[in-house]
Structure 1
Amino acid sequence: MATIYYVGCDAAHPGDFVYDIPEGHDFWLLILTRTPAEFWVDGEIRPYPANCAALFPPRRKILYRACADRFVNDWVRFASEEPFLTETALPVGVPIPVADPDYCRQLFRLLAVENFFDGDYRELSIDYLLRILFHKLLEASRTTVRQPYYHELLDLRKRIHADPGYPWSVPVMAEHVHLSPGYLQSLYKSTFGISCMEDVIQCRIQLAKERLVHGRQRIADIAAQCGYPNVEHFSRQFRQLVGSTPRAYRKSVNEASGSAR
């Protein structure tokens, strides 16, 4: 288990901010930058962009500083002897670009909440959150090359998955990321391994399956909520992906659920 000494979110500092601990701490320090910064790496100060994570083990020199008008970061000081940390393949003392900084910031905020409250499962929750955070950072450290507009595409994909019923089209999605429709389609497919419209359709059908199983709405209403004003088109696309009509799918799942009781 890990012991958190302190966790801070959205900590803002002036442009002359410097964090210099020549002998390091007696605990681990993990920071996530939200603005550009300069770090001491391999004997020299180097500039790094915003949205980088840096892990410092105990008794390791720490030096980073602002390189703009202000410096904003999330950070956590903690102790742990868990192998996922002590034997980590994550580079130490070297900032790495984070693929999904918003997700990692949410993990920092959850760590702060769990550390503040003294619940029965506090230590276990903190341990799980740290493991998830380190897994995300390991993924980031192993990805050396990212597609152009990666963060813009990631934000678009989050919007699609959060609201698949929105009237998405390639021109609408292209407008969201300020790219041409053709360039968007090429980048999206090479980045996520699926075309943008295929992603929309899969999200819509997944939402429809959930509504069919867990609700009593009419199929026409579910179709409209999932972005299909035409119920025949919805039924045809649902059957192509699922292998049965929406009505047959609902019936088969309900029958299977009833026999399992």
Structure 2
Amino acid sequence: MSNSQQLKQEKPLLVDFNQERATEKIFSNPPSIASYYSGWDGIYFEHHHQPSNDTFEHCLTMHTISVALDNISSERWFDGKRQSEKQTTGTIAIIPVDILHRCSWEEEIQFMFVSVDPLLLKRLGLEVSASDDIELIPHFATQQDPLILGILLSLKDELELKTSGDSLYVEQLRTMLVVHLLKKYCVKKTQIVKYSDGLPKYKLRQVIEHIHSHLNSDIKLAELAGLAGISQYYFCQLFKNSLGITPYQYVLQQRVEQAKHLLRSGKMAICDIALTCGFANQSHLTKHFRKITGMTPKDYQKQ
């Protein structure tokens, strides 16, 4: 065996999600949906349709949670330990960074995965008083997790809609996912405190004033939590306790209210109203306007 062959055998394949088309190193087909150009911070998403395959041994640069969307039989290896899997829709596998991983299957499959930056896991973990040495446990695909399935389906929907105006929603989903991992899938489980009260009135007022003055811009969850002086997770919890809806739902409601005012004035085109109110485009406005009011912006304007 040559030195180059020996080096190749000793050094596992690295799948780096900071590189475009990284998973084409291990899968036959490119992803049908990917978040590479979405601008999402700290997480990466792909949806796949793949023929039979053997990924061979590799390591990932981000903690990865894979979710089955078919009933399939597969085999998986973690650091050389093999297990047969009977997956059904919603079955999850958790592949931490740096672990040697391999998976094989002999039929066409559909699945999706989300990868989480280890630094994000640590940062959000510290915000909710998790241990400094956060370590995810590798999980073979033997159980379902409805919460993770729901989060990944929501991320998939956002990418399919091709909108860029819902980063606050994605950040809420991201935070929910990370906290769920900390509570359930780490070596040291994190006890998350649940509060029944809301934000102090003066802090809630500051947050609401900030939202209203930035409706036409990309409102970040970290900004709102920073104004309240608490972690992103607890901010979402206390905000909802205060107003009965999530920060994202509140922002949407206020944007729709602003759109209604501009539609009544009849001085702007609907496509311009969408951008003025912080929506990515007219179809993005129409989607949420119909969901909240039961009618399209055009129908509302005709009243």
Q: What's the TM-score, normalizing by structure 1?
A: 0.41
Give 1 or 2: higher helix fraction.
Answer: 1
- Give the greater-gyration-radius structure (CA): 1
Q: Give the number of the structure with larger relative contact order, counting CA–CA contacts within 8 Å between residues 6 or more apart.
A: 1
